[in-house]
C-alpha cells in the first residue's frame, strides 16, 4: 500500500512539473547571465531561498525561488522574461541573451533582444514561412569585413527574412545599416556552440532546414541568394 501511495506521489510531482515546464517553455532566462552582463552581482540567499541582485552594492531585486516565476534547474536560477527588472538597461544601446527552454533541447535557442531598454523576443519578429538568419562577427575580425560590407550595401528589410547580426566584442562598432546587437561576454555565441567568426546559423521554418555556415565565402554565397 505504501509503495502504491508513493508511486502516486511521484506521478503527481512528475505531472505537476511537466505542466509547469510547458507553461514556462521558451519564456525563461538565466538570472546570473542577464544581470552579471549588465555590471550587477547575483548572490544566492540560502535563508530566503532567493537569487538577490545587487547593483553597485545596492540590492536591486530579490528573485524568490517559488517555482511560479522563478526556479532552479541544475544549479542555475531562471526567471520569466516579464519578471526581469530592466532598469539597468537604460544606458545599453543593444544587447542579446539566449532564452532557455525547460521543455526540450533546441538546436538554436530563441533570443531576447534589448534595444534602448525595450525587450522583444526574436521569434516575435518572425513571419509565417520566414527564415531566421543569425550572424556572429567581431570588430577585430578581418574576415568579417566583406560580410559586413555586403550587408551594409545590400540589406533591406524583408517579410520572409528575420535577420540579426551579433557582435561578440565591446569595441566601437565599425558597421551599421542592418540589425546589430551586442554579445560582449559571448553568452549567445556559446549557447549556439559557435567556435569561429564569422559564422551564420539559418533556420528555414517553411522547410524545417537548419544550416550552419562558417567563413566569409560560405556566408556570402548564401547571403547573395536572399539579398
pLDDT in tens, 174-197: 888 999 999 988 999 999 999 999
> Which single residue is written with the C-alpha cell 506521489?
9
The span from the CA of 201 to the CA of 188, in Å, is 12
CA nearest to 152, candidates 184, 179, 116: 179
Query: Among the residues of 49-155, which ranges form H helices?
Result: 145-154
Domain end point (choices 88, 114, 134):
88
Give domain status of residue 141, yes or no.
yes
Q: Are residues 80 and 144 in the same domain?
A: no
Q: pLDDT tens digits, residue range 20-64?
A: 444 445 578 999 998 888 888 999 999 999 999 998 889 989 999
Q: Are both 1 and 83 inside the same structural domain?
A: yes
Structural domain of residue 7, as residue ranges? 1-88
The x, y and z cell numbers of residue 227, run together, are: 539579398
Tens-digit pLDDT profile for residues 68-88: 889 888 888 999 888 888 777
Counting the structural domains of the chain, the total is: 2
- Is residue 6 within 8 A of residue 56, CB to CB? The reply is no
What CATH number should be reported for the domain holding residue 194?
3.40.30.10
Among the listed residues 91, 97, 94, the one whose alpha carbon sits nearest the alpha carbon of residue 176: 94
Domain identity same for 145 and 62: no
Residue-wise pLDDT for 91-118, tens only, equals 556 889 998 876 655 678 889 998 877 7
Q: Decide which of 59, 88, 117 is a domain's last residue.
A: 88
Report DSSP letters for 12-77, one per residue.
Answer: HHHHHHHHHHHHHTT-EEEHHHHHHTTT-EEEEETTTTEEEEEETTEEEEEEE--SSSEEEETTEE
Amino acid at each position: 500500500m505504501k509503495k502504491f501511495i508513493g508511486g502516486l506521489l511521484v506521478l503527481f510531482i512528475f505531472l505537476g512539473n511537466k505542466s509547469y515546464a510547458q507553461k514556462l517553455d521558451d519564456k525563461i532566462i538565466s538570472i546570473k547571465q542577464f544581470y552579471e552582463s549588465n555590471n550587477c552581482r547575483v548572490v544566492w540567499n540560502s535563508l530566503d531561498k532567493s537569487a538577490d541582485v545587487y547593483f553597485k552594492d545596492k540590492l536591486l531585486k530579490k528573485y524568490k525561488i517559488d517555482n511560479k516565476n522563478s526556479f532552479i534547474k541544475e544549479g542555475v536560477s531562471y526567471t520569466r522574461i516579464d519578471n526581469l527588472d530592466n532598469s539597468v538597461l537604460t544606458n545599453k544601446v543593444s544587447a542579446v541573451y539566449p532564452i532557455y527552454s525547460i521543455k526540450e533541447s533546441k538546436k538554436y535557442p530563441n533570443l531576447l533582444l534589448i534595444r534602448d531598454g525595450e525587450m522583444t523576443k526574436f521569434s516575435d519578429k518572425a513571419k509565417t514561412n520566414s527564415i531566421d538568419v543569425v550572424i556572429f562577427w567581431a570588430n577585430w575580425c578581418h574576415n568579417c569585413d566583406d560580410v559586413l560590407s555586403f550587408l551594409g550595401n545590400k540589406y533591406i528589410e524583408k517579410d520572409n527574412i528575420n535577420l540579426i547580426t551579433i557582435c561578440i566584442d565591446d569595441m566601437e562598432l565599425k558597421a551599421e545599416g542592418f540589425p546589430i546587437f551586442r554579445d560582449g561576454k559571448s553568452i549567445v555565441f556559446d549557447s549556439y556552440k559557435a567556435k569561429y567568426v564569422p559564422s551564420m546559423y539559418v533556420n528555414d521554418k517553411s522547410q524545417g532546414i537548419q544550416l550552419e555556415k562558417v567563413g566569409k565565402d560560405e556566408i556570402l554565397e548564401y547571403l547573395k541568394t536572399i539579398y
